Amino acid sequence: MDSIEDVVQPERFHLGPGNEETLRQRQLVLIGKVMAGFSDKIQNHLATIHESNGRLGDLVGQDSQWTEEERERLAGIVSTIERHVQTLVQKSQHLSRFARRTGATSCTFDAGELVEEAVSFSTRLARVRQVSLAQEAAGTLPSLCSDPTRIHFIVSILINSMLERVSRGGKVILRAEPVEKGVLIEVEGRGSLDAAAQSPPGEGNPYWPAMEQVVGDLGGHLQIDSIAHDINRTALFLPTTKVPDTSHM
């Protein structure tokens, strides 16, 4: 009987650069489908909770057996449940949109939605770092025809990198506005820099060279500005109609 080494020959499974890229894209698409299905299930359960909570609220308001104090307390509970449901609905919608774009190398998508999702997914890191995270969107952003997976990665890295650089008690502001032939996204950090982040944003960041290449492939550019000793800003310009060249991924 042949040994396992004779049966499984690694060279037969070697993938060339093109095939490796195709496999990675298929993996991303599969991950996106799994996340989309999961978010749909969450939304279905949240819809059931919302409906049940609404009926409970109606009963509390109509049933005369409750005292005024009990009715107010139960109404507060119903209101709290509804508030949490609405928060989770919004988070689930962000996840659903992100999942459905994951793996796409070129499509038309809403730049404003992508920015909202990147901020939403970064809120946990902001809480851990005890840094305020706020979004300022100037009007309606144009749709982009580009690679949503890579753009989401770039925007998320810029936000998270700034959150890690600003010291506790600081603030990170994300601005997104339409400009000529594209969209300008700025991530601004306010407050003293963490002791471990005194060097410029690009230095020591293992993602920075790759990000510059990816942004260049997409027809955009990155720029770092130090506005003041306690204000640092990274700007990302993305064109509206650039279809990315994936040959360098």
- Residue 12 is assigned to a structural domain of this protein: no
Report the C-alpha gap between 214 and 217 in whole angstroms. Answer: 5
Name the residue type at position 164: E
For residues 77 and 114, state if they share a domain: no
- How much is the pTM? 0.75
Q: Using an 8 Å Cβ cutoff, are 200 and 224 in contact?
A: yes
For residues 91 and 136, state if they share a domain: no
Q: Which domain holds residue 41?
A: 17-101
The CATH number of whichever domain residue 178 belongs to comes to 3.30.565.10
Q: How many domains are contained in the chain?
A: 2
Concatenated DSSP letters of 116-137: HHHHHHTHHHHHHHT-EEEEEE
Of the candidates 170, 180, 184, the one whose C-alpha atom is nearest the C-alpha of residue 232 is 170
For residues 142 and 221, state if they share a domain: yes
Q: Per residue of the chain (249 residues), give pLDDT as tens.
A: 444 444 344 444 455 566 777 787 787 778 888 888 888 888 899 899 999 988 888 887 776 777 888 888 888 999 999 999 998 998 888 888 888 888 888 889 999 899 999 999 999 999 999 999 999 866 788 899 999 989 999 999 999 989 988 989 999 999 999 998 899 999 999 887 765 555 555 555 677 888 888 899 999 999 887 776 678 889 999 999 864 454 444
